[in-house]
Amino acid sequence: MERIQLAQDVSLSRIVHGMWRLSDWGYSKEETLNFIESCLYMCITSFDHADIYGNYTVEEQFGQALALKPSLRDQMELVTKCGIKLISSNRSEHRIKHYDTSRDHIIQSVHQSLRNFQTDYIDVLLIHRPDPMMDPSEVAEAFASLKRDGKVKRFGVSNFLPAQYNMLNSYLDDPLVTNQIEISATHLEHFENGAMEQCQSDRISPMAWSPLGGGSIFTSTEEKFQRVRKVLEKIKEETGATSIDQVLFAWLLAHPAKIIPIVGSGKLDRIKTAAGALKLNLSRQQWFEILEASKGTEVA
């Protein structure tokens, strides 16, 4: 599988597996380990996490499975996020949901993630959401400390607008390596707000969460989704794709920003479908057909 070089010492598989819903799948440790190994067999070596996933349980569940076969750690990349504090039975001191990007919280979160994963380093740490109370100098201090101690290799952000990304980046000794944002054929915000251009300008590859638009493409009766579905079915037949979701992944993969889709399914056949999109080559006209269907109008 193609790989994306985020920095000299970190690369990700072109398709990343997102572990957000791991706690919902009802997997045992052994089943989780089998799932991880199956992804690795498909050359999907990068796994996306956040400290809050599964109400603060997913990282630990993943780590318990990994502990059954610790040698797998050297075959994978772990991406995780911090900065959100949920109201949770596991965090009784949180009275309201809020953000915390203070130096101490970032460092404490990483130490907890390391314990959860039963590993001694994170490949990429992301700030989960833009924080209106962010002190970028504190974030820079936390990043520098974690990198110096070998706890985290590289850093990025999630859901940041270009101005927010550039502001934080201006404080850092080592530049951010990615921005994880919502990108799909039915969610075009970041094609319109300058985020894609900013990624290309900085030579970084964005990570795309919800690359299938949250599944609405399969179920929604809204006119927009019906339009897109019709075009996807047409292009599926033209390209020999196995399904319309494979065409959706191919649409993202075709973009010159080298978008990295995050697949969030717990079903291996759906993951194989996403990996198969790497073999599809959409024409420029097919790419614009999907864009036009999403917008509801031809380009000017």
Region 116-121: mean pLDDT is: 98
SS3 content of the chain, % helix, strand, coil (to 5): 45, 20, 35
289, 235 Cβ separation under 8 angstroms = yes
Q: Which of 35-44, 91-100, 166-175 has the lowest mean pLDDT?
A: 91-100
Name the average pLDDT for the chain. 96
Q: What does the pLDDT look like over 53-92, one tens digit per residue? A: 999 999 999 999 999 999 999 999 999 999 999 987 666 6
Q: Which amino acid is at 292?
A: E
171, 194 Cβ separation under 8 angstroms = no
pLDDT at 39 over 80: yes
Q: What does the pLDDT look like over 7-29, one tens digit per residue? A: 999 999 999 999 999 999 999 99
| Dihedral pair phi/psi, residue 147, rounded to 5° | -70, -45
Name the one residue in this structure whose structure tokens are 């990295």.
260
* Measured distance CA(176)–CA(205) in Å, rounded: 11
Region 237-260: mean pLDDT is: 97
* Measured distance CA(279)–CA(300) in Å, rounded: 31
DSSP string computed for 19-80: -TTGGGTT--HHHHHHHHHHHHHTT--EEE--TTHHHHTHHHHHHHHHTTSGGGGGG-EEEE
| Dihedral pair phi/psi, residue 185, rounded to 5° | -65, -20
Could you tell me the two tokens for 6? 């985020």
pLDDT band at 107 (very low <50, low <70, confident <90, very high): very high
**pLDDT for the residue numbered 94:** 74
Percentage of the chain beyond pLDDT 70 is 99
pLDDT band at 165 (very low <50, low <70, confident <90, very high): very high
* Measured distance CA(57)–CA(24) in Å, rounded: 11
Q: Of 27, 41, 53, 99, which residue is the catalytic one? A: 53
* Measured distance CA(1)–CA(261) in Å, rounded: 13
CA distances from 32 to 5, 38, 43, 78, 226 (A): 27, 10, 17, 15, 36
User: CB 76: neighbour CB atoms within 10 A?
Assistant: 18
**pLDDT for the residue numbered 90:** 64
Catalytic status, residue 53? yes
Is the alpha carbon torsion for 155, 160, 164, 166 positive or negative? positive
**pLDDT for the residue numbered 217:** 87
Does residue 282 come out as left (phi exceeding 0), alpha (psi in the -120 to 50 range) or beta?
beta
167, 134 Cβ separation under 8 angstroms = no
CA distances from 192 to 165, 201, 281, 283 (A): 16, 15, 24, 22
**pLDDT for the residue numbered 56:** 94
Q: Reduce the DSSP state of residue 208 to 3 states and report it.
A: strand
Q: What does the pLDDT look like over 263-292, one tens digit per residue? A: 999 999 999 999 999 999 999 999 999 999
Nearest to 196 by CA among 213, 179, 176: 179
133, 99 Cβ separation under 8 angstroms = yes
Region 135-164: mean pLDDT is: 98
Region 245-271: mean pLDDT is: 97
pLDDT at 216 over 80: yes
